[in-house]
Amino acid sequence: MTRKRAFDIDRFIATIESNYRQWNPPIITFIANRGATPFEVLAEFFPSFRDLDKFHAVPALSSVPTAIICGTADRITSIGHSRKLHARIDGSSLLECEGAGHMVVMERHDQVNAELDQLLAAAADALESR
């Protein structure tokens, strides 16, 4: 029995090429090369993810500036997961990029860059106040 791939990399690349011409061509090449990894290899990692739960450790991040950035349409890391992190990390910021998927850094680069600028400023302020 042949498994249908849940993610069609060729269709994704075509979408990027037609809708995101402002992206740097090496970024598109990088994404396209991810399709070179056989699905079976990727699938072997999924059981490990199911059992991986480190939420007990995330409150330690409350002592440093922390930004959580996610796409509301991410089908790999759910928005609920990001909200759960935000709720458990005091003082963290949460940027929910409406309609963005798992490639939120590339899909909403302006929003992500602005959030990272704020994070860096907060980190600098934290260092100065030590």
Start-end of CATH 3.40.50.11320 domains in the chain = 55-130
The count of C-alpha atoms lying within 13 angstroms of the C-alpha of 97, restricted to the half-sphere facing its C-beta, is 22
Give pTM, 2 decimals.
0.65
Query: What pLDDT shows up at residue 40?
Result: 72
pLDDT tens, residue by residue, 24-46: 566 556 666 665 666 677 667 76
CATH class of the domain comprising 55-130: alpha beta
Query: DSSP letters of 87-111?
Result: HHSTT-EEEEETT--TTHHHHTHHH
Average pLDDT, the chain: 80
